[in-house]
Each structure stands twice: as structure tokens, then as C-alpha cells.
Amino acid sequence: MSDHDHDIKSHIRTYMIIGAALFIGTILTVAVSYVDFGSHAINIAVGLIIATVKASLVALFFMHLIDEKTAIYLLLSCAFFFFVGLMGLTIWADQNPPNKTQNLQHAPMVEVTVDSQHPSSASDSHPEPVHH
Amino acid sequence: MEIPYTVKPRPDTGVYNAKIGIWLFLASEIMLFGALFSSYIILRITAPEGSWLEGVLNVPIGFVNTLVLIASSVTIVMAWASLKMNNYKAFQGYMVFTVLCALTFLCIKSVEYNDKFHHYEMWTNAESNNRFTGHFDKSWLAEQKSAYKAKVAQLNADHQKALSSWSQSDKSTPAPVAPKFPEITFFTLTTTEIRNLAAFLGTDSVVFEKEAKHAYKYHGMPGEDTHASNDHAAAGAEDHASSTSAHDDHSHHESLTIPVSEIKRTSAFIPSHSTYFAIYFTLTGLHALHVFGGACVLAYFVICNRKMWKNEPDRLANRIEVGGLFWHFVDLVWIFLFPVLYLL
């Protein structure tokens, strides 16, 4: 039992250190947001990196993920896969916006096809033009 | 029915069942918040230049709330460790502190929300300093409200009087028409409402408490250079406006009397007026609901589970661990929300 107690006591020391690190991390996040790194994108990146480090500390030590069973890791890797997919698709969607000018270019093209098909469609089995 | 594996680990997973359960739940929560975060990214990167609000939130308030949540995360894990060391008194203390932290967080958040409900962004036709934030002067707004109510009541009373005298007459003349007046909700005023109100009451200016200039900034659009879209050759509102407080005192609000004709647009800090505040209230509102739910469960654990401590101490410790996992997750979400919404 004393061995178990000792184990818990070393845990508590870890919790205190992580808690202090999170406090310092929070102060750091606010501090660096007032520093101009030259570009707004770098400021965002620095802020997100600090947040990720803080979140990792919480997940690894407070949520005991540093020493967990395989089943939990398996479950979380699924969640991680879908989360990365969600964010990746989001950013990909922004890189590939629906091209409005392209759609506009399509419009007259369709009309031209309809016009050229009109004489043939009259003799065809289709009484209505296909594009409508 | 006995719930299996509340204490002993299940042989195939290697952990007790509740732990698998909470992690499955947290995995779904990751996707829930992930969906909202990705919405935030889309809204932000596709926002037209200068339209995304930055630095309008109160950083000290957000900072304090972050510390409150981190402190509660430390104490919940300490509560669990106390149970593991058979110290029920310490456990109770840590749990009570955690729940109090949760309530503090919610109190601060509601004060912050209430403040936002009364905030506006104002565009004027001025050449410079034509875009700023603040709120309408409280006493001015109260005056407008009572004047509006009085005038509406007067118009309605006059109409009733005319109607009754008409119904007693021979009805040869057409019936008096019901009075028309603008519908105005005084909770948040739209630009149209402000113009309608001024026309209805015959006032020609609003009293606006402008916030210090450094209180907010626009990415890629500094406040001083915003005359690009301003085609008005007329002299700016700043020239018309009478400033009643000293310019050097930046920590306080500056009271401005702005002519209604000089107001280009107003936008309240609420979802229906601003995309930024729509995603802000969605994200922080959902998070606040999580804080509230977590606080209820943790309070239940400390208030109602004394018997379990006597009969099944290990089961209670596992409960606290599972509750703690949820609580840490809520903290983790806030760790991202704070920089994303307040700082970047």
C-alpha cells in the first residue's frame, strides 16, 4: 500500500508541475499575441502551437493518456483520423472554391448546343430539347 | 441489474467499462467541436477583407476564465488522487472547489455575454475615425425608450377616441385609420430602427459612448485608413460630433453626439448582425453548456455518492476519473477557444 501511496504522491507532483506549466502557457499565449512577428499568419501559428502544447499537456497527464491501454489508443486514433480528415477537407474546400466564372462560361455553351440540336431534335424521338 | 466491470477491468479491453464509454463519448465530442472549429475556419478565411472582427473581446476576462478552468482541472485530478489515498475530506474540498470554479466561469461568461448584447460597431460618413465600437449612452437610450412608449400610447389613445366618436356618428365619413408607428425592439437596435426611431421622435442625433481606439483592430484594415469606401464629400461626423470627454484619457469611454444623418451603419455584437459573433456565441455557448453539465455531474458525485465511498470506494474513484476526463476535455476545448476567439 505504501508503494501505491508513493506512486500517487509522485503523480500529484506531476499534476502540480503541469498545472503551473498551463498557467505559464496561458500568460505566454496572451503575451505573444501582442508581439508582432511580421505577419498575421505567423502570430496565428505561434498562438495555435502554444495552445496545442497546452492541450497536449492536459491530454497526456491530466487525462492519463501518457500511460493508457491499447483499446483507448485505438479508439482515439479513429477519432484523430476523422478529425484530421474534417480539417483537411475544410482547408481543401477553401483551396478549391466553386468557380463562378467557369459556370457562367457554361451557360452560353449550353444554349449553343440546344440551338444546334433543335433541328435534329425535331425529327428525333425526343420532342423536348434535352437541355432545358 | 448489476452494471458489469465498474471496478475490475474487462479482460478484452483491459479497462473498466465506463472508461471506454467516456472515451467514445469524447471522440464524438471531438467531432462536434471539430465541425464548429472547421466552420470557424471557413467563415474566417472566406470573410471579405476588413469584415472579420478582431480584438473586440475583453482579453482580461477571457484570460481570467482560462485560469479558472485550468485551476479546476488541477483540482479535479487532485480530488481523484485524494480518493486513491483514502482521504475523503480532501476529496470533498477539491470537488467543491472545482464546482465553484465552474460556477465562477459561468458567472464571468454571463457578465461578458450581457456586455456584448449592448455593444455596437458604428460606421459613420466621416473622413477618418469612421469605424469604432462602443454602446449607446444608457440614459439616452432609456429616454428614447420612454419617449417612444409614451408617443405610441398617445397615438393609440387618440385613435381609440377618434374611433369611438366615429362609431357614434352617422358613419358618412370613412373610418379613422389606425396609427402607423415603427416597430422598435430596444434590445438591440438595427440601423433602420435607429433611423425610424429618430424620424418618429423627431430627434436628430444619438449619444454614443465610443470605446478607446486601441480597444479593437482590423486585420489588413487599420482604423485610420478606412476612407477608401467613403465617397461622401460631406464633412465627417467627427467634425459635427461634439465630444464631451477628454481625448487623452484612453481608458475611458468617449461620449459622442452623432447626427443620425451621419450614421452609415450600425451592427450589434449579436449573431444576427455579425458572422463573427454568430460563430462566437455558437462555440462559447456550446462550451458553456458543457461547463454547466459537467458542474451538475461533479456536484452530484460529491453530494450524493457518500454511501458509495463506504461500500465501493474503487467504483467512486473510477466515477471521479471518468467525470474528470470529461472536465479535462472541456478545459482542453477552452484552451483552443481562448486564443482563437480572443487573441488571434
Does residue A18 share a domain with residue A44? Answer: yes
Distance CA A79, CA A82 (A): 5
Does residue B307 share a domain with residue B264? Answer: no
* Closest residue in A to B62 (Cα–Cα): A30
Greatest distance between any 2 Cα atoms in chain A: 97
Chain segment A58-86, per-residue pLDDT in tens = 999 999 999 899 999 999 999 999 999 99
Does residue A29 share a domain with residue A48? Answer: yes
Does residue B221 share a domain with residue B314? Answer: no
Mean pLDDT of A103-107: 49
Does residue B287 share a domain with residue B242? Answer: no
Residue B17 falls within a domain, yes or no? no
Q: For position B5, what pLDDT does the model report? A: 92
Task: Supply the range of the domain harboring residue B69.
Answer: 57-119+274-343
Does residue A16 share a domain with residue A39? Answer: yes
Residue B253 falls within a domain, yes or no? yes
Task: Supply the range of the domain harboring residue A90.
Answer: 69-97
* Closest residue in A to B68 (Cα–Cα): A23
Q: Measured between alpha carbons, how far is residue A7 from residues A17, A19, A21, B33, B317 in Å?
A: 16, 18, 21, 35, 16
Does residue A7 share a domain with residue A53? Answer: yes
Of the three residues B238, B268, B298, the one that is the final residue of a domain is: B268
Does residue A29 share a domain with residue A74? Answer: no
Does residue A58 share a domain with residue A4? Answer: yes
Does residue B238 share a domain with residue B329? Answer: no
Does residue B153 share a domain with residue B255? Answer: yes
Q: For position B210, what pLDDT does the model report? A: 86
State how far residue B211 is from chain A, nearest Cα, in angstroms: 19
Does residue A75 share a domain with residue A49? Answer: no
Number of domains in chain A: 3
Does residue B127 share a domain with residue B114? Answer: no
Instruction: Tell me the helix, strand and coil percentages in chain A, rounded to 5.
Output: 80, 0, 20
Does residue A51 share a domain with residue A23? Answer: yes
Does residue B133 share a domain with residue B81? Answer: no
Does residue B107 share a domain with residue B134? Answer: no
Residue B234 falls within a domain, yes or no? yes
Mean pLDDT of A11-33: 94
Of the three residues B226, B247, B268, the one that is the final residue of a domain is: B268
Residue A86 in contact with partner chain B when CB distance is under 8 A? yes
CATH number at residue B89: 1.20.120.80
Of the three residues A37, A63, A89, the one that is the final residue of a domain is: A63
Does residue B136 share a domain with residue B259? Answer: yes
Chain segment A23-56, per-residue pLDDT in tens = 999 999 999 988 888 888 899 999 999 999 999 9
Q: Is A126 in contact with A114 (CB distance < 8 Å)?
A: no
Burial of B317 (0-12, 13-18, 19+ CB in 10 A): buried
Residue B129 falls within a domain, yes or no? yes
Residue B47 falls within a domain, yes or no? no
Does residue A75 share a domain with residue A132? Answer: no
Question: pLDDT below 70 — which residues of chain B?
Answer: 212-252
Distance CA A113, CA A120 (A): 11
Of the three residues B239, B268, B297, the one that is the final residue of a domain is: B268
Does residue B232 share a domain with residue B149? Answer: yes
Residue B191 falls within a domain, yes or no? yes
Sorting pLDDT into bands at 50, 70 and 90, what band is A6?
confident
Give the count of alpha carbons within 13 A of A125, CB side only.
Answer: 0
Tell me which residue in B14, B220, B336 faces A70 most closely, judged by beta carbons. B14
Does residue A2 share a domain with residue A39? Answer: yes
Q: Is B230 in contact with B148 (CB distance < 8 Å)?
A: no
Does residue A111 share a domain with residue A73? Answer: no
Tell me which residue in B35, B78, B332 faces A59 most closely, judged by beta carbons. B332
Q: For position A98, what pLDDT does the model report? A: 67
Q: Report B:64-93 residues touching A (Cβ under 8 A).
A: 66-67, 70-71, 73-74, 77-78, 81, 84-85
What are the strands of the beta sheet with B131-136, ordered from one edge? B242-243, B254-259, B205-210, B131-136, B120-124, B263-268
State how far residue B40 is from chain A, nearest Cα, in angstroms: 10
Does residue A48 share a domain with residue A5? Answer: yes
Residue B43 falls within a domain, yes or no? no
Sorting pLDDT into bands at 50, 70 and 90, what band is A102?
low
Q: Do B78 and A15 touch (CB under 8 A)?
A: yes
Mean pLDDT of A96-111: 54
Task: Sort out which chain B residues have CB atoms less than 8 A from A15's CB and list them.
Answer: 74, 77-78, 81
Does residue B251 share a domain with residue B172? Answer: yes
Residue B219 falls within a domain, yes or no? yes
State how far residue B31 is from chain A, nearest Cα, in angstroms: 6
Residue A54 in contact with partner chain B when CB distance is under 8 A? yes
Residue A50 in contact with partner chain B when CB distance is under 8 A? yes
SS3 at position A131: coil
Does residue B208 share a domain with residue B172? Answer: yes
Q: Is B51 in contact with B274 (CB distance < 8 Å)?
A: no
Chain segment B131-150, per-residue pLDDT in tens = 888 888 889 999 999 999 99
Distance CA B84, CA A64 (A): 15
Number of domains in chain B: 2
Chain segment B251-300, per-residue pLDDT in tens = 467 888 888 888 888 888 888 888 999 999 999 999 999 999 999 999 99
